[in-house]
Amino acid sequence: MTQESEDPDLILDAMAYVEEVHRAVRAENTAPPPGVEGRVVAAILADPELAAYVRARARGRRVLEASVAPPALPPIDDGYRRVRALLTAAETAGRG
């Protein structure tokens, strides 16, 4: 196991980010299908570059106050595109 795969904060941040991307792609407030989120999170944890991206994004978004505003959509950048591709591939594999 890598250090990233044992980091509970990174795991939670990756799960939150996968759900953000899923909501952005599907335009609905739902979670990914069963098993999909875990596969994408595992891929993020296995990729040091994506793990660093998710960690940095989460660190920049942490706030101490709750908000009633809907969550902002993630920026469409390289990290987003990579996670979106992982999510799409995992969802497609789950159907087959």
Q: Give the tens place of pLDDT for each residue, 20-60.
A: 999 998 877 788 888 999 999 999 999 999 999 999 999 87
| AA identity, residue 91 | E
Q: Could you please report the per-residue DSSP string of 16-84?
A: HHHHHHHHHHHTSS-PPPTTHHHHHHHHHHH-HHHHHHHHHHHHHH--SS---SPPPPPP-SHHHHHHH
Span 3-32, mean pLDDT? Answer: 86
Please report, for the chain, the start and end positions of each structural domain, with discontinuous segments joined by +.
4-95
CB 45 within 8 A of CB 14: yes
Extract the tokens encoding 40: 């994408």
